[in-house]
Amino acid sequence: MLDIIWSLGAFIVTLGVLVTFHEFGHFWVARKCGVKVLTFSVGFGKAFWQRRGKDGTLYQLSRIPLGGYVRMLDERVDDVSAADRDKSFNSKSVAKRAAIVAAGPVANFILAIVVLWGMFLIGVPSVKPMLGSITPDSVAAQAEWPTPSEVVAVNGTETVDWQQVNLAFAAALGDDTATVTVEDEQQRLHTVTLDISSWRLSEEQIPTFMALGLQPYQPEVFTELAYIQENSPAAAAGLQEGDKILAFDGTLMRDWSQIRDAIMAAPGASVELTIERQQQQLTVPVEIGEREVAGENYGFLGVEPRREAYPEAYRFVQQYGIVDGLVKGAERTWGLMVLSVQMIGKLITGTVSVTNLSGPVAIAEGAGVSASYGLVYFLGFLALISVNLGIINLVPLPMLDGGHLMFLAIESVRKKAVSERVQEISYRIGGALIFALMAIAISNDVLRLLR
């Protein structure tokens, strides 16, 4: 329950910030272009807070935090006096109206740059993209890989951490091949070319590099117990820190993954563990615990294994000064913008399935998880969603900013506005398409929750 409340709170903060900046972009440029703004609202529906500014604008917060709007004086919907006619939106030139409409998405891009700038000023704890193993029978298994090695580039794009590897492979989705450059422990470069012509994203929310079969380096995990949870099945059986599990119900255990799988597959079972304690072998009867995850029962013991320390040489902090941080923020924002456009194109062509769309539930989960990790991770998530919001709003669909810009582009060519009848029909079609996409995204969220 606390997780849900946390995610909901993070979602409201995220959406509130993004919507406020988006609408402020429209508001600020409208005022600069001499348009009278009647209402600035964050949220839809009935307002629960209002204040009339000295500029005559009504500022308000509304009950449904799923968007916002800026209502400008417009002769097509308002009774406008002769004195205010030159302050109406429709009286302005095509260029000024286009600037007002485009200002919302542009504000989202500026927000992303500023947020990423702050993130890089603070410093982002990161790990190098060290390759640990290759999944058998995967796309990556086509080639020979030196392991461990560091992924330094994908299709010529430098990759300093796993996030950039993930984004680089996402950009390559739909291509025939992907060229990966790795550096081995002797600092020798190796180039691997993968045939990804038949590779598609799965419905599972896993990183692209793992879907291809690249597994990040993980420190060795031993079969020795390093932690026993209080009031757990392991504590009830008398297991102790330092015990080494040798066998599970008579089956020899070679590594911790085998032990973990055996425990999870035996919920509520009575088993015997063969352990080594102080150089003596003991047989310990254990009642495996039981817990439900996503509607399925799994066994648990309440223990943690001893792990090898993660190499400090693989850790680093992405931190830059004021100027370099701003440059990096702009570069990262541009990369996210390009990737967002590419993914929309791949969605249209069918390279990416609509089952990969995410809705507000997934966004809320992402906001909650990133916020729980710390401020820098939340800032990175905020920038990503801000860029996506800006790009989606530029899609030339009626009801979106891109649709308004499309009508203005037609008007500039025809020297005549598109008829209100055509616009009305287009808005209905655009609204239906947006509603359908939102319905698919929300249903995808629900299906992921039920899995």
Which residues have a catalytic role annotated?
Answer: 23
Q: What is the CA radius of gyration of the chain?
A: 28
Which amino acid is it at 301? L
Q: Are strands 177-184 and 189-195 parallel, antiparallel or unpaired?
A: antiparallel
SS3 content of the chain, % helix, strand, coil (to 5): 50, 25, 25
Largest separation between any pair of C-alpha atoms in the chain: 97
> Which uninterrupted H or E stretch holds 258?
helix 256-264
Residue 350's Cβ-count burial label (10 Å; 0-12, 13-18, 19+) is exposed
DSSP-derived letter for residue 11 is: H
Contacts for 195 with CB less than 8 Å, ≥ 6 apart: 139, 142, 176, 177
**DSSP letters for 353-408:** -GGG---HHHHHHHHHHHHHH-HHHHHHHHHHHHHHHHHHHTSS-TTSHHHHHHHH
SS3 state at 103: helix
SS3 state at 59: strand
The answer to whether residues 116 and 383 touch, using CB atoms and an 8 Å cutoff, is yes
Q: Ramachandran region of residue 357, left (φ > 0), alpha (ψ -120 to 50) or beta?
A: beta
Q: Residue 160's closest CA among 200, 120, 197?
A: 120
Q: Residue 274's closest CA among 239, 306, 302?
A: 239
Residue bearing tokens 């996506």:
388
Q: Which two tokens stand for residue 438?
A: 């939102």
The answer to whether residues 202 and 211 touch, using CB atoms and an 8 Å cutoff, is yes
Report the distance separating Cα 191 and Cα 325, nearest Å: 31
